[in-house]
Amino acid sequence: MKKIHLPQELYDKLDLSIDEEIEVIDIAADSFTVRRLTSKKSDYAPTWFIVPTIFATLIFIALAFFFNHPHVIPLSGNESIATAVIVIANALAIFTFISAYFSRRKSFYRQMTKRIYWRTFVTVTVSILIIVTLALMALFWFLGQIFYGVNFGLFTSTLIFAIFSGILNYVMIFVVDTFSINMMVNMLLMVSVGGLVSSMATNGNQYWWQRNFSLLGTEASHSSWQFNLTLIVSAALFIALVDYIFVSIREKYGTHLRQTILQVLLTLCAFSIALVGLIPNNAGWMHIAHDVAAQLIVFFMALSILGIQWFLPKAGKSLYQMSYIIVGLILFSYFLWHPVHYLTLTAFEILSFSLSFAWLLLLVNTLINMLWNDRKIYKVTVSKENEE
């Protein structure tokens, strides 16, 4: 077997022992990945998803007889295949995710500290639940529109349910196997954007945009719980993400006051977003509290963006330039809304939210690059074995 010589720091980083095997994976013409042979992703997903799938299918059959649907089961509705998948299959799939996520905790300790793992455990689980639930609701709504009023026999219904249940359980195990910091960022993006878009589509008032964005979370909206829950979970996920990143930065570079202040500001901004979801913009004291929470979001976000060059003096000019461009665009949109009255309040809120969210993703990407995209240069030598 051919041998490869690694620098001591890479040897230590891979946590290798003497004569342990590694694998080199070709990913492009001029790059490759080196990793321990024992660190391959587990391949238990193709087998372990069968057990919860069978269990969920048995529950589905039992409930079909309990609700007097032994022969015909509709695709959509209260007592339907869609409801069974969203409730039964989804619940067992989440249990599968929790079990797999917990069983791989020791391997996750290499990516994050033990403390960060347990801090993010609940947030990640709830986020996965919301993402999958919203995706299933959207999928079955779409199928219900295409196959309106369709019914299936018990055998066909059970087969359809089992397929969806198997896919869900397999996806959950796959998510655990491929979980990383980048996945947390993608989850934040999917929860925030997906939840808000679905709230706009299902709120029950086609002219909601004529008032303001917060109408989606009030009593006037049929999907107020969805809008408010999206804000709360997005805030919790962002707090976990910020906590994860800044704890890792302190472990690598040490504690610095500027970075601590930035973390506090971002965390307070996330708490304010959660308060906007917890306190709907209904009449009375809730309207005042809701507005105060919304203004706090603007305050903490403005401090973070305007002070970014002081908080992260070595982040790079691109981040500073984009930050000031985003501030300029937000101010310009505010000018078009309030004095000029060209934009509606809803249009201004959507524009400012989109620009602020884009800045947060840019900041997170910059912080991730500070942590994991270090470049080191090594001198190449050829061993005698290769020369022969």
- Quick: pLDDT tens for 13-53: 666 777 777 777 765 556 677 776 654 444 555 567 788 89
> How much is the pTM?
0.70
Report whether 290 contacts 276 (CB < 8 A).
yes
237 assigned to some structural domain: yes
135 assigned to some structural domain: yes
- Residue 312: which domain range? 214-378
* 275/228 same-domain check: yes
90 assigned to some structural domain: yes
pLDDT score, position 11: 72
pLDDT score, position 132: 85
165 assigned to some structural domain: yes
* 228/357 same-domain check: yes
Low-confidence ranges of the chain (pLDDT < 50): 39-42, 203, 207-208, 386-388
pLDDT score, position 124: 79
* 218/351 same-domain check: yes
* 153/167 same-domain check: yes
* 358/227 same-domain check: yes
Cα–Cα distance list, 315 to 90, 185, 245, 309, 360 (Å)? 42, 19, 15, 8, 14
* 361/246 same-domain check: yes
- Alpha-helical (H) ranges within 279-344 are 285-306, 308-311, 317-337
Q: How many residues does the chain have?
A: 388
Of 179, 201, 222, the residue at which a domain comes to its end is 179
332 assigned to some structural domain: yes
Count of helix runs (H) and strand runs (E) in the chain: 17, 4
* 329/354 same-domain check: yes
190 assigned to some structural domain: no
The position carrying tokens 């042979």 is 37
* 48/35 same-domain check: no
pLDDT score, position 207: 47
208 assigned to some structural domain: no
Residue 72, classed as helix, strand or coil, is strand
Tell me how many degrees the CA angle 229-146-228 measures, rounded to the nearest 5.
Answer: 5
- The tokens for 126 are 């709830």
* 117/138 same-domain check: yes
* 161/246 same-domain check: no
* 230/174 same-domain check: no
Domain count, the chain: 3
* 157/132 same-domain check: yes
193 assigned to some structural domain: no
